[in-house]
Structure 1
Amino acid sequence: MESLEADVAETLSLLEALFLPSFFDIMVHLMVHLPAQARIAGPVHFRSMWPVERFLMRLKGSVHTKSHPEGSIMEWSMFTECLTFCSRYLHETQFSRQFRDDEDNSITPFFRSLGRGLAGKCIVSLDHKTWLQAHRYVLFNYANIGSYLDKHAHYLSSIGLRNKRDINRTQHESFHEWFRLHVEERCEEEPEEIKILAKAPMMSAHKYSSYTINGFNFHTESYDEGRSVQNSGVALVAESTSFDRGNNDNTIIGNKPYYGIIKEILELNYHHKGNVVLFKCDWVDNRVQDKWVKTDQFGITSVNFKHLFNTGEKLSDEPFILASQAIQVYYVPDPIDKEWAAVVQSKPRDVYDFDNLEDEHIDNDNGLVVQLSDLNASVTVDIVNGTIPTIRTDIDGTLVDPKKTKK
């Protein structure tokens, strides 16, 4: 900063030899004082009067009765506040209108953009393991992939695999290759989305440090460091399949919550015909119930990040989730046991519950509706007719006569 202060005077002296004296007005001379002011007072946005002047201009424009300017400003303020509050519950306002989307996504709704990157956008080259894990997760979580999984399972049975455990493991390893060959054979009969997915994404992808979707701003763990808020926590309620011990055909299917930290945000490019955003996370090991993820009698879920799985080190790991599936949470460290942290579910910004409170949902920026899962669905509160009782009924109350208490 000291060198800038010395250089600016020399620079202005050199400019005086090139420009007329009328060029050097007070605004040009102001540059001489800017380095000293920045060194003494800090960044200009902490002491600028421009926002104050803009707000005073709005207040001045709200005065319609010059004999009572304060009343006009107060009336305008209440009117604006009421309209802003009501407009959040209406359609096609500045708070709920859809973002412009020039692309026709009627044929490929799966690739429709649900959010947008906020910071740290760059292009990275994926290694084969990361590429395969991401592509595999997209395939298995595509809504219309069920019929192809059944065909592949039938094919595996026909080549000698008998029990469901072996079929499930082999399908996880080889489905993406069989799917590509199967679609190439029936190329003209398949829908456009299936053709795009079968070609697999490119080895280069966009990488973000911050991404907004479903009303949440998600950050990577490295981008979250040093910030006062935590936006890297993520949770997912997913359907998990397990097998009974000693029985390779008896499957147990149930919903299970997963808790993790976002490590990377990747946007896969399907040969410029569609994009899919994924979060790569470190997941807390929840394979054994109430071991590293446990819930106490008060409904508070605690996790231990010293024990992770599906970190992406193995080729069979599943570290990715779709950005549209993510539920934002934050972790509060346990003051007694430092290895544990309590999970708190965040609420999306600018989302208001009305109409049907039981079916909580949010509207995306593009008009799509995404269901929000309740991570604490097992915790119940007795509410009669939608109202919480305000008096206790488990003990006898004491009646106080105000007339007798007066002296």
Structure 2
Amino acid sequence: MTHLLVHLVKEIFILGPVFLHNMFPLERFMGVLKKYVHNHARPEGSIAKGYGTEEVIEFCVDFIPDLDSIGVLESRHEGRLSGKGTLGRKTYIGTDDDYFNKAHYTVLQNFSLVDPYIETHKDLLRSEFPGKTEAWITRKHMETFGGWLRKKCQGDESIHEQLYLLAMQPSWHIITYKGYEINGNIFYIVAQDKRSTNQNSGVRIDATDPNGNKQTYYGRIDEIWELEYAPTLKIPLFKCQWVKVTRGGVTVDNEYGMTTVDLSNIGYKDEPFVLVKDVNQVFYVNDMSTKPKRGKNDNDSTKEPKRHIVLSGKRVIVGIEDKSDMSEDYEKDDRILPFKVNKDPSILVNDEDTPWLRRDHNQGTYVKKKFTAVPT
């Protein structure tokens, strides 16, 4: 082996780098081919048949849904940006209850293929109930639109395939999770948050109210659902407790610009669901200025503040699916500023020796330091 080192430099000059002419990859591949030999009288035929069989199987696997071929292990972060359930997967049967219909309606109203049918159904309700208010028409539309669309599209072969799957309603076997990852954020339900050291149940969404005005709604995740319309069409949703935008639910501090919410002021119970891909993560920090004061005979020191300050969450996508801090979508989400001060809080330094000295009282004496040069 010592003599071999003498010839390495010469071989590199003649053949090039070692990885271009070493035999280890070929020897490993020969080990794979030897496993195909089941008839030692015809080793070449066994190798050809085994190799061809493996190629056919790998080709067919690409067309079988929900089946992964044997190969390099999938990263545990795979699917974190597009969305995947990570914690507490369960299945239960939603027997056409009220929440099931509301979840189905939330999915329908967020697909552009369904938009023409929404206006058509509302016009039918207005003609059928001419004396009802627009608010009543909207509630009736939300309750009956799913069944009406199913009858409308049933048997119609001219409509889009995806529209047909949506109209036929999802499976009653609803998949639920306690944790979900999407867009680089980790979301938990409120029950899981109480058992965790981190807070991951806060969400916000920018939507349009019935009057056409854009509003930002804040809430917490109560449940995580996944509706299955087809093996290739699964829609995840968050069932949330939303805070009322009015009546003190959401306020913005005039002096510092902080957004505060009252998590006990719950509203919008008719529309609890929202698509997972449409929300952003927020954190709720206790606003200690709203904590109830203790009385003389009050021994309860565990009272929580009435309001919470809203802070934006940070997406963690660096290193996931080849994302880096230089990627375009690294700062794609709209962040909420923690506060905004209109006044300049900095101290203006003037020509005085002590601009920070208080002059609103005569207590104490300021002595100016004197420096004496010591001869050397």
TM-score, normalised to structure 2, is: 0.60
Instruction: Tell whether the 8 Å contact from 2:258 to 2:339 is kept in structure 1 after alignment.
Output: no
Q: Distance in 1 between matches of 2:237 and 2:285?
A: 25
Residues 1:173 and 2:143 are matched in the alignment: yes
- For residue 347 of structure 1, what is the aligned residue in structure 2? 314
Residues 1:301 and 2:233 are matched in the alignment: no
Highest CA radius of gyration, 1 or 2?
Answer: 2
- 2:112 alignment partner, SS class: coil
- 1:190 alignment partner, SS class: coil
Q: Could you tell me which of 102, 105, 124 is aligned with 1:136?
A: 105
Instruction: Tell whether the 8 Å contact from 1:257 to 1:375 is kept in structure 2 after alignment.
Output: no
- For residue 327 of structure 1, what is the aligned residue in structure 2? 280
Q: Distance in 2 between matches of 1:355 and 1:381?
A: 33
Query: Structure 1, residues 41-75: CA drift from partner, whole Å, max 9, x if none?
Result: xxxxxxxxxxxxxxxxxxxxxxxxxxxxxxxxxxx
Q: Distance in 2 between matches of 1:303 and 1:161?
A: 39
Q: Distance in 2 between matches of 1:321 and 1:102?
A: 32
- 1:260 alignment partner, SS class: strand
- For residue 117 of structure 1, what is the aligned residue in structure 2? 85
- 1:238 alignment partner, SS class: strand
Q: Distance in 2 between matches of 1:264 and 1:126?
A: 14
Q: Distance in 2 between matches of 1:206 and 1:355?
A: 33
- For residue 30 of structure 1, what is the aligned residue in structure 2? none
2:137 partner amino acid: I
1:170 positional shift: 2.5
1:273 positional shift: 4.2
1:117 partner amino acid: G
Residues 1:191 and 2:160 are matched in the alignment: yes
1:165 positional shift: 3.6
Across the aligned residues of Structure 1 and Structure 2, the Cα RMSD in angstroms comes to: 3.4
- For residue 172 of structure 2, what is the aligned residue in structure 1? 203
- For residue 19 of structure 1, what is the aligned residue in structure 2? none
Instruction: Tell whether the 8 Å contact from 1:116 to 1:211 is kept in structure 2 after alignment.
Output: yes
Query: Structure 1, residues 132-190: CA drift from partner, whole Å, max 9, x if none?
Result: 111011111223322111222232233343654443232222211111111115x2111
**1:138-177 aligned within 5 A:** 138-161=107-130, 164-177=134-147
The answer to which of 228-237 and 144-153 deviates more is 144-153
Q: Distance in 2 between matches of 1:380 and 1:184?
A: 58
1:169 partner amino acid: R
Q: Could you tell me which of 174, 185, 188 is aligned with 1:219?
A: 188
Check 1:381–1:199 CA distance in 2 against 1; reply closer, same or farther (3 A cut). farther
- For residue 255 of structure 1, what is the aligned residue in structure 2? 214
Instruction: Tell whether the 8 Å contact from 1:237 to 1:256 is kept in structure 2 after alignment.
Output: yes
Instruction: Tell whether the 8 Å contact from 1:237 to 1:373 is kept in structure 2 after alignment.
Output: no
2:243 partner amino acid: V
Q: How many percent identity over aligned positions?
A: 28
More helix by share: 1
Q: When the two structures are aligned, how many residues end up with a matched partner? A: 258
Q: Distance in 1 between matches of 2:178 and 2:190?
A: 9
- 2:212 alignment partner, SS class: strand
TM-score, normalised to structure 1, is: 0.56
